[in-house]
A and B are shown apart, each in its own frame.
Chain A
Amino acid sequence: MMLRLEEHNIGAILPDLPGTNESMQPQHAMDLDKWASALLSFSEQAENPTHVASFRGGSLVDHKIELPHWRLSPVKGRSLLRTMMRTRIAADKESGLSTSMSDLMETAHRDVLNLAGNLLNPEMIKQLDSAQPFEFSDTRTVRLESEAKEADAIVNGGPFWLRAEPSDDMDLVTAISNDLIDWVNG
């Protein structure tokens, strides 16, 4: 997608969040507010950024940057949290443990919780549980047809982020890239 933007003379940077990939920060010390602040300071150091584009949960941490926002299938924090909890419950079940969502929530109030390989501290869990994408008046929201939700534009294609096995869908990439390019070029 970034290559397609480049072909239209739109430079793009995809930052790693603190606590992810090669970051020196420990993952369990992160929360949504810290990520939003990190993205703000990143945008202040970048060379004349003009727009912000986020996918899914990225829309929960992009709001501190005061630039026009474009979002693909923004998601509530609670949906991400419940999927991660259910994944943990399913993994526990396969190892013969019986865990419930309320047990996990109780632990999450005092300890770092490992959900699907993500180490989440109590503050992160609390923020995820209530986080909603912050809507600005100039936010452009793009969704997939199957989501059946309000959007400024609807594209056809499957949500690759829900698949257990990685795959690609070049028609979908083209459709969302074209929407983003048209919007940036205004």
Chain B
Amino acid sequence: MPEKVEITPESAVRAVLRDILGLDAEQVAGFDADTELFGALPELDSMAVAGLLTELEDRLDIMIEDDEVDGELFETFGNLVAFAETKAEE
């Protein structure tokens, strides 16, 4: 298969937020480490979190366990990216 796009944990987090929450690319491109997620994005509810975790697992080829997921993880964009980077290095 010839076509393949490389992906970093940060770009995977941006793509998943855009894809799952249906946010526009411009809004997601403007996210920085301090951007608040849970509570600040009405689209991000607990059902969206379910899909978001599985998509991150799939795109970064990682496994996320129940006990690794807490409220803090979705507090800011920076927290979520840091988590994805740590998992991707394991």
Contact = CB atoms under 8 A, between A and B. Distances in A.
Contact of A158 (B6, B18, B43): B18
Contacts of B59: 147-149
Interface in B1-47: 1-7, 12, 15, 18-20, 22, 43, 45-47
Majority-rule SS of B interface residues: helix
Contact of B4 (A94, A101, A149): A149
Contact of B22 (A101, A152, A153, A163): A163
A104 B4 CA distance: 36
Interface in A151-174: 151-154, 158-159, 162-165, 167
A162 B58 CA distance: 13
B47 A154 contact: no
Contacts of A167: 22
Nearest to B22: A163
A79 B54 contact: yes
B50 A89 contact: yes
Contact of B7 (A86, A90, A101, A148): A148
Contacts of B51: 83, 86-87, 162, 164
B50 A87 contact: yes
Nearest to A143: B3
A146 interface: yes
Contact of B1 (A87, A89, A91, A141): A141
Interface residues of B, number: 29
Nearest to B50: A86
Contacts of B53: 82, 86
A76 B58 contact: yes
Given A82-B57, A101-B66, A154-B5, A90 B19 contact: no
B20 A90 contact: no
Nearest to A103: B66
Interface of B: 1-7, 12, 15, 18-20, 22, 43, 45-51, 53-55, 57-59, 65-66
Interface of A: 75-76, 79, 82-83, 86-87, 89-91, 93-94, 100-102, 141, 145-154, 158-159, 162-165, 167
10 contacts: A79-B54, A89-B50, A91-B47, A145-B5, A146-B15, A148-B15, A152-B1, A154-B3, A154-B5, A163-B20
